Amino acid sequence: MDAPLVAGPETVQRAAAARRRRPVWLTGSFVLGLILLFWPLVAALTIGLVVDPRGLRIGAAPVGSAPSALHPFGSDNAGRDLLTLLAVGTPPTYVIGFVAGFLATAFGTIIGLISGYARGATDTVLRGIIDVTLGIPALAVAIIVTALLGSISTGQLALIIAVLIWAFPARQIRSQVLSLREQQYVFISRLSNQGSLSIVFRELLPNLLPFVMASLVASISFAILLAVGLQLLSLGSSDPTLGLVLQLAITGGALSRGMWWWWLPPALVLISIFIGLFLLSTAVDRLANPRLREKADDG
Amino acid sequence: MTADARTGMHAQGSAGDHTPDDLVLSVENLAVSYGSAAGRRRAVDDLTFGVRRAETYGLVGESGSGKSSTAFAILGLIKPPGRIDEGRIRLEGMDLVGLKPDEWRPIRWRRVSLVPQGAMNALNPVMRVGEQIGDAIEAHDGRQDPAALRERIVGLLDSVGLPDRVVRAYPHELSGGMKQRACIAMAIALEPALIIADEPTSALDVVVQRAVAETLMEVKRNLGASVILIGHDLALQAQLVDRLGVMYRGRLVETGPSRELFHRPQHPYTELLIRSVPSIRGGDDDSLTGAARRARELAAAADELARTGIPPLRLVGPDHLVALP
Amino acid sequence: MTTDNHAPADPAAPGGIGTPDVPLLELRHVGKSFRAGRGRGVTSVVALEDFSLTLEGSPPRIVALAGESGSGKTTAANLVLGFLTPTHGEVLYRGRPVTQLKGRSGTGFRQEVQAITQDPYSAFNPFYRVGRVFDVVIRNFPIASGPEDARAKVAEAMDFVGLSPERILDAYPHQLSGGERQRVMVARAFLLRPRLIIADEPVSMVDASIRATILELMLRLRNELGVSFLYITHDLSTAYRIADELIILRRGQVVEAGDPRTVIEHPQHPYTRLLMSSIPIPDPDDRWQGRVSDLQAELNEDLEALE
């Protein structure tokens, strides 16, 4: 004769309230990912405020010296102060990654939206462009272009990379739009005389935000990867960057000469950035993948 | 013959025999609960009923009544966070509660099998139908000689009215009704004594539904098996079942021969449930207003039940039990 | 156009759609085929064939279009709403082809011909609050003279379906039950004051206990607002209760049409007879006779004889 529920109403309410306070994507791994991704930038910017730019010059420090009080990160084989080099070279990597990532995602999302919703001839054309662009080997083309162009700024490099990678978000968004447009609320919107543009941006896009986020993280990762790859080949911008430092270290024989202070810090920073991006992408994946989200919701 | 006071069923065993001979399935005081962060919730509570050999037993109830959980419990498919809290489930005399996974292998599919709801989800879309049936047979009956296996599969498909070509077909090449019949073929492959059909015809068109239902009854007759038909379509139940059990929130409200329940229901909830089923034969107060009124009465009766709780079952006629004080 | 923003254009007034004394909806020998497959495997799938229907509109009627899946009923709905173009024949709304009317917003077609759809779960954009469906409608149609008027009219619509604006309008779709969502859809239709509503399986995904309520609301729309319905369903018992006329579709063709009670109790066409005899009756003493496979074989023989 007792009610079938074993838990009392208060327990249920408290559990529900706890769930409401914390958004599903704000998990431990998300926070950790953010930290791992951004601490090098924060550190570099702070140190960059106090560091002496003359440390970048050749001979600013004793050649190939290990870390000391005066030069906490030591110096490279040309006597450049590595702390200054790292502080100055880290932010551009972020700039390239984020600018290229945002540009590629924004452009790709718009193309994906139009292509997926319009269907017909427009879709055929746009999809063709997307497929062709996807087929282009990004690194190979990047190498050729940057080699031909010689010295370019970080901004220009970001643009080149964006042009090479926008097709990935475009394809992702397009396939989501193809299924979303069959939802009945799109039908109701058309019945309500809502224009196509309004439907695409006001009805579909909000529901695509998880996928846009996921694409953004992926694009940023890919952009940084491309940029560092180019820098390791001494291509890309001639401003000091992490990749450049690493490249100099490798060609300068830092490994064989045991000059760990030269190659280890940039490598560690890069590893931290990529692990951070990876953790963010798995956390954001929960937004995009409803089944993962359900597991999180179930107590 | 002894009459088991709890199940109200007349048994053919000798006096004192706890498991009547002609009961294929005996469920006693079954309780199933699911846990979550909010606490444990009973899906099935103190459930007792039996299914005789070669009979069709219908289990009906609205969503949340616990009928699917009952089916899963019988099949040993309750997994954490769900668990069987209490009770016994005896299949042909053997207790199923507390069996270990490897003890289930000779039982599941060979002595009790499932025709699931929504063949779409049950069939593997990237495997040919014949292969899937073959796999199911070999998984529970050991490796088979390929030629004999193929013959057996063709025979199974034939018994459910499906042509040879289905063996090599993929699920998406079949219509809804054909897919469901393929699932029936899989369920009878090892000639079980008990088949549990969980809403086997939902989402099918009316004529196809009848064809699938008739197929199920035919294979049941040929095998001499028993069927538990789970669903919420009372009209379909009326066409197919010998005895019926009405569940509400995990407990049985009434159970008995289907004629009794449809023509002389003893519990007010049962009565309202039966009367709220629309029929093209017409009936008393056929109008929409009448239907809306009956729907409200049914909802009120359900609320009342939720408030007062459901007492244990009491015998009111041959095989007929009702949960009234 | 009349100055009363509330009612759709009066057909008798100059500038209104079509001419008076013309049926509200007319489908003349409509055929619709789709291309399926690609390259050399392209085939033509005939969804609707030689389909004709006339709905006078005055007095308002509920015409039920019943059929199994693949019978063409949803195709018919989309044709009437102007979302599909017929391969053959014409779809006329008040004497004018729908293909001409649907694009131009000045014609009032969109407001006069509305729909209630099957799935209350996907009919709402999960990102927005429920009240937004009304905002969109008010923004796009000449319904209200200002924000105050809009609020009043929405309240009136919610009152019609028996829902409280305070509780429902600010809620998100997932917080409402299927029945409540469907009632909001009916309220949306009420707000628009259409002449014709295409109701595509409006109760098949709603709990049995709410079905009668939704169907009652449809009847009230007909009786109180003069709205005609094209009621599309596969469930003949609901068609029986609500329709003035019943049309049975099979594989894109009309096999039988007439008064619902007559069609259901005295079916003439072999397919209709098969259909009626396959509907389960909730009475253990009134069970299916014979075997449906035999009846289906009989049906095929009868159909061949007819051709």
Q: By CA distance, what is B44's nearest residue in A?
A: A4
Q: How confident is the model at residue B6 (pLDDT cuts 50, 70, 90)?
A: very low
Same domain, B30 and B123: no
Among A185, A191, A193, select the one facing C125 at the smallest CB separation: A185
Same domain, B106 and B141: no
Tokens standing for residue B25:
């399935």
pLDDT of residue A23: 61
Q: How far is C-alpha B198 from the geometric centre of its chain's CA atoms?
A: 6
Among C114, C118, C124, select the one facing A185 at the smallest CB separation: C124
Least Cα separation, residue A82 to chain B (angstroms):
52
Chain B contact present for A4, CB below 8 A: yes
Give C205's contacts (C-beta < 8 A, 6+ positions apart): C118, C119, C120, C121, C178
Pinpoint the alpha helices (H) of chain B.
67-74, 101-104, 119-122, 129-141, 146-159, 176-188, 206-223, 234-240, 258-263, 268-275, 288-308
Q: Is A188's CB within 8 Å of C123's CB? A: yes
Q: Is A193's CB within 8 Å of C140's CB? A: yes
pLDDT of residue B286: 67
Longest dimension (CA), chain A: 88
pLDDT of residue B281: 76
Same domain, B182 and B267: no
Q: What pLDDT digit, counting tens, does each position of B306-319 carry?
A: 888 889 889 998 88
Give the range among A202-211, B162-171, B284-293, C26-35 with minimum mean pLDDT: B284-293
Higher local confidence (pLDDT), B71 or B10: B71
Neighbours of chain B (3+ CB pairs under 8 A): A, C
To which CATH superfamily is domain A26-294 assigned?
Answer: MetI-like (1.10.3720.10)
Q: Is A15's CB within 8 Å of B38's CB? A: yes
Same domain, B261 and B288: yes
Same domain, B162 and B262: no
| Local structure of residue C129 (DSSP, 8 states) | -
- When divided into structural domains, chain B yields a total of 2
Q: How confident is the model at residue C16 (pLDDT cuts 50, 70, 90)?
A: very low
pLDDT of residue B38: 74
Q: What pLDDT digit, counting tens, does each position of C176-201 carry?
A: 988 999 999 999 999 999 999 999 99
Same domain, B132 and B260: no
Give the range among A56-65, B314-323, C225-234, C244-253 with minimum mean pLDDT: A56-65
pLDDT of residue B216: 93
Write the DSSP string, B91-103: ETTEE-TT--HHH
3-class state of residue B157 by DSSP: helix
Q: Is the pLDDT of residue A124 over 70?
A: yes
Neighbours of chain A (3+ CB pairs under 8 A): B, C
Q: Which whole-number Å values give the CA distances from A297 to A214, B38, B257, C182, in the listed order?
A: 20, 12, 43, 27
Q: Is B309's CB within 8 Å of A3's CB? A: yes
Phi-psi region of A142 (alpha: psi -120 to 50; beta: other; left: phi over 0): alpha
Phi-psi region of A147 (alpha: psi -120 to 50; beta: other; left: phi over 0): alpha
Q: Which residues of B touch A (CB under 8 A)?
A: 33, 36-42, 45, 249-250, 306, 308-311
Same domain, B167 and B238: no
Q: Is the pLDDT of residue C24 over 70?
A: yes
pLDDT of residue A111: 94
Among A2, A3, A299, select the one facing B38 at the smallest CB separation: A299
Residues of C in contact with A190 (CB under 8 A): 83
CATH of the structural domain C25-266, one choice from 3.40.50.300, 3.30.450.20, 3.40.50.2300, 3.40.1190.10: 3.40.50.300
Same domain, B231 and B261: yes
Count of A-B CB contacts under 8 Å: 37
Per-residue pLDDT, averaged over A219-239, amounts to: 83
Q: How confident is the model at residue C41 (pLDDT cuts 50, 70, 90)?
A: confident
Parse chain C into domains and list their residue ranges.
25-266
pLDDT of residue C147: 92
**What one-letter code names the amino acid at B256?**
G
Q: What pLDDT digit, counting tens, does each position of C94-142 carry?
A: 988 998 887 666 668 999 999 999 988 899 999 999 999 999 999 999 8
Write the DSSP string, A27-61: -HHHHHHHHHHHHHHHHHHHHHHHS-GGGGSTTSS
Chain B contact present for A296, CB below 8 A: no
What's the mean per-residue pLDDT of chain B?
85
Indicate whether this model's pTM tops 0.95.
no
pLDDT of residue A164: 92
**What one-letter code names the amino acid at A235?**
L
Per-residue pLDDT, averaged over B92-97, amounts to: 89
Q: What pLDDT digit, counting tens, does each position of C48-104 carry?
A: 999 999 998 889 999 999 988 778 898 999 999 999 999 999 999 998 899 888 766
> Contact, B160 vs B185, CB < 8 A?
yes
Residues of C in contact with A194 (CB under 8 A): 136, 140
Q: How confident is the model at residue B21 (pLDDT cuts 50, 70, 90)?
A: low
Same domain, B81 and B210: yes
> Contact, A228 vs A269, CB < 8 A?
no
Separation CA B313–CA B45 (nearest Å): 12
Q: Is A184's CB within 8 Å of C115's CB? A: no
Count of A-C CB contacts under 8 Å: 45
Separation CA C307–CA C163 (nearest Å): 53
Q: Is A189's CB within 8 Å of C117's CB? A: no
Report the share of chain B in percent with pLDDT over 90: 44
Same domain, B97 and B227: yes
Higher local confidence (pLDDT), C143 or B120: C143
Q: What pLDDT digit, counting tens, does each position of C229-246 carry?
A: 999 988 888 888 889 999
- Domain coverage including residue B296: 2-111+192-322
Give C131's contacts (C-beta < 8 A, 6+ positions apart): C154, C165, C168, C169, C170
Parse chain A into domains and list their residue ranges.
26-294
Per-residue pLDDT, averaged over A23-45, amounts to: 83
Q: Which of C177, C277, C292 to mutate to test the interface with B (most CBs of B within 10 A)?
A: C292
Same domain, B206 and B175: no
Tokens standing for residue C102:
């649907």
Q: What pLDDT digit, counting tens, does each position of A125-176 carry?
A: 999 999 999 999 988 888 888 888 877 888 888 898 999 999 999 999 999 9
Give the range among A11-25, A237-251, B173-187, B281-295 with minimum mean pLDDT: A11-25
pLDDT of residue C1: 33
Tell which residue, B180, B238, B166, B243, has the closest CA to residue B209: B180
pLDDT of residue B20: 52
Phi, psi of C41 (to 5 degrees): -90, 15
Per-residue pLDDT, averaged over C158-170, amounts to: 93
Highest mean predicted confidence (pLDDT) among A71-75, B49-53, B199-203? B49-53
How many other CB atoms are found less than 10 A from the CB of residue B304? 11
Please identify, among B191, B211, B242, the residue that sits at the C-terminal boundary of a domain: B191
Q: How confident is the model at residue C12 (pLDDT cuts 50, 70, 90)?
A: very low
Same domain, B224 and B148: no
Q: Is the pLDDT of residue C296 over 70?
A: yes
